[in-house]
Amino acid sequence: MILAKIVIGTLALQSAILRDGGRVLNHPNDPPLPVSPVFEARQLRKVYHTGELDVVALNGVDVEFFSGELVVLLGASGSGKSTLLNILGGLDVPTSGALSYKGWDLTNADEHTLTLFRRNCVGFVFQFYNLIPSLTARENVALITSIARDPMTAEEALEMVDLGDRMDHFPSQLSGGEQQRVAIARAIAKKPEVLLCDEPTGALDITTGITVLEAVERINRELGTLTVIITHNASMAQMADRVLYLSDGQMVKQRRNEKRLPARELEW
């Protein structure tokens, strides 16, 4: 019975991901939809077994993320930030607890469903840009647009991060900030519902970091992409709708900002 429920749930999730990326579709004349979370995590635990040792990376995290919001996730090194982000993005699975995406259970999703989920619904940006050195900016982004369901063009994605004039440059011909913006263009070209950024400015100086954050901010506003940014830089919290604090694998505090500070006005 439970197995049948999981199979039916998985098939429904797969077909929704294939059909519309799991977006909630609503006709403009319909009454507004009730606000339901994009992600809902309940008592998430992640334990890594390394040799004799068990490392508890997440220890009962309850958290929700809503459509279109920009969330900054803060916490000391080792507090579980990347682990949480990787689980949200379907790169890793929790040891126990429940995680749903748009009401669909991700916890019991099979590998094929998670692959579809990552491909159609989630964009990732990491500290190191992971561009292919032998491909131009345009070609790096086109790699993704060639397999996505309903992508924008590589050119449109690069315009969104203000790199319209650098499309035919190779990564070695671009600054760190420009390379990171190519990585952002690559992440958002598929028009994902969710953009997950793990220390996107970690390798950059202040000025360059701000140009990268401006690109993220623009995508969040113009595409309405739920955006989660991990950082060690507490001043970046001012650009968020909501700030979450992890400590020792637990969500210890959260705060809502009355007003978001534009990235260009951040000081750190």
Ligand X SMILES: Nc1ncnc2c1ncn2[C@@H]1O[C@H](COP(=O)(O)OP(=O)(O)OP(=O)(O)O)[C@@H](O)[C@H]1O
| Residue 192 interface partner, choices Mg ion, ligand X, none, CB cut-off 5-8 Å depending on type | none
Q: 116 or 195: whose CB is closer to Mg ion? A: 195
Q: 67 or 86: whose CB is closer to ligand X? A: 86
- Which one of 81-89, 134-142, 160-168, 251-259 is the stretch in contact with ligand X (CB under 6 A)? 81-89
Q: 57 or 63: whose CB is closer to ligand X? A: 57
Contact 221, 31 (CB under 8 A): no
| 211 near Mg ion (CB under 5 A) | no
Instruction: Note every long-range contact of 175-178, with CB atoms under 8 Å and residues 24 or more positions apart, other chains counting.
Output: 175/208, 176/129, 176/203, 176/204, 176/208, 177/204, 177/208, 177/209, 177/211, 177/212
CB atoms within 10 A of CB 23: 17
Q: Which tokens go with 176?
A: 């760190």
Contact 215, 204 (CB under 8 A): no
- Single out the residue of 112, 166, 105, 108 nearest to residue 139, CA to CA: 166
| 231 near ligand X (CB under 6 A) | no
Question: How does strand 250-256 pair with strand 242-247?
Answer: antiparallel
Q: 83 or 220: whose CB is closer to ligand X? A: 83
> Which residues 20-49 are close enough to bind ligand X by CB under 6 A?
48
Q: Of the candidates 10, 79, 82, 179, which one interacts with Mg ion according to CB under 5 A? A: 82
d(CA 58, CA 56): 6
Give least dist CB 5 to ligand X, A.
Answer: 30
Binding pattern to ligand X, positions 50-79, x when CB under 6 A?
Answer: x----x-x-----------------x-xxx
| Residue 57 interface partner, choices Mg ion, ligand X, none, CB cut-off 5-8 Å depending on type | ligand X
Residue type, 241: D
Q: 132 or 234: whose CB is closer to ligand X? A: 234
Residues that bind ligand X (CB under 6 A): 48, 50, 55, 57, 75, 77-83
